Amino acid sequence: MNIIGDKIYIKILFFGTALAGKTTSLQWLFQNLVPEEMKITDRIRSIKTSFGQTLLFDFVPIQISNNIIIRIYTATGQDYYTSTRKMLFEEVDGVFFVVDSQKKELEHNREFVEEFNKYMEKIDELKKAEIIVLYNKQDVAEVYDVEYMSASLDLQQYPSYPTCAVSGMNLDRAFTAMISSLLSKIREMKGN
Ligand SMILES: Nc1nc2c(ncn2[C@@H]2O[C@H](COP(=O)(O)OP(=O)(O)O)[C@@H](O)[C@H]2O)c(=O)[nH]1
Ligand SMILES: [Mg+2]
């Protein structure tokens, strides 16, 4: 969180394996949930590869009140860019950990849990951040259910939702939960 003048800047990051559905989730939220009056820009900025995958990150700011601006990023899931990913965790307030629920992706997800846990040790803001797990691609065949994955990946301590980023299933609930938790943290801060 960054306070500049009378403005509060909140940072939310989507993190997870390549192709898990981070960009699709952000697009769904931006198109279907964020009201027009909160949009500062008309579209998400992306740095993409020639194949249309996120190269470094996607970024979109939204203004939820006169003095609160939320900056949302998706981190590239490509292995080559781990140093960029670490940088994106700095000053983070909220993380959507996007798990690809497909059975064949379980071990790949586990690598990202390990990477995430390393950041958790090193980055102080992350320890205080709101973490929500999205078990995405629940509409696809050959997926694990949430209970199995959260136990296997040891993510039970975080609130979670089974999602489909294409239809938007549960993304509205997850986003609303994230925003209300971050706003109550701000209220607590102001109360002190
Ligand atoms: N069926 C299905 N496809 C999805 C879902 N989420 C993402 N995809 C598809 O998976 C691919 C990768 O998604 P993308 O959002 O670019 O992944 P990212 O690398 O995490 O940003 C795209 O073809 C998406 O349309 C989902 O929940 N269900
Ligand atoms: Mg992407």
Query: Domain residues for 149?
Result: 2-187
Mean pLDDT of 64-92: 85
Measured between alpha carbons, how far is residue 185 from residues 84, 149, 179 in Å? 27, 29, 10
* Predicted pLDDT at 182: 96
End-to-end Cα distance, the chain: 16
Q: Residues lining ligand 1, CB < 6 A?
A: 16, 18-24, 53-54, 74, 77, 136-137, 139-140, 164-166
State the DSSP H helix or E strand holding residue 178, giving kind and residue range, or none if neither.
helix 171-191
Determine the Cα–Cα distance for residues 120 and 86; give it in Å rounded to an integer: 10
Q: Is residue 171 part of a domain?
A: yes
Q: Is residue 27 part of a domain?
A: yes
* Of residues 98, 104, 100, the one with CA closest to residue 175: 98
CATH for 128: 3.40.50.300
79 or 120, which is more confident: 120
- pLDDT digits 0-9 by tens, 44-57: 888 666 566 666 67
Determine the Cα–Cα distance for residues 163 and 142; give it in Å rounded to an integer: 15
Q: Is residue 100 part of a domain?
A: yes
Structurally, the chain folds into a number of domains equal to: 1
CA 20 – ligand 1 centroid, Å: 6
Q: Please state the atom number of ligand 1 nearest to the C-alpha of residue 16.
A: 20
Q: Is residue 37 part of a domain?
A: yes
- pLDDT digits 0-9 by tens, 128-175: 999 999 999 999 999 999 999 999 999 999 999 999 999 999 999 999
Q: Is residue 112 part of a domain?
A: yes
Residue from 19, 24, 99, 112 whose mutation best tests the ligand 1 pocket (most atoms within 8 A of CB): 24
Q: Is residue 173 part of a domain?
A: yes
Of all protein residues, the one whose alpha carbon is nearest to atom 7 of ligand 1 is 21
- pLDDT digits 0-9 by tens, 93-107: 999 999 999 999 999
Q: Is residue 8 part of a domain?
A: yes
Measured between alpha carbons, how far is residue 60 from residues 1, 8, 136 in Å? 16, 16, 21
Backbone angles phi, psi at 41, to 5 degrees: -120, 160
Q: Is residue 192 part of a domain?
A: no
The structure tokens listed for 131 are 């973490």
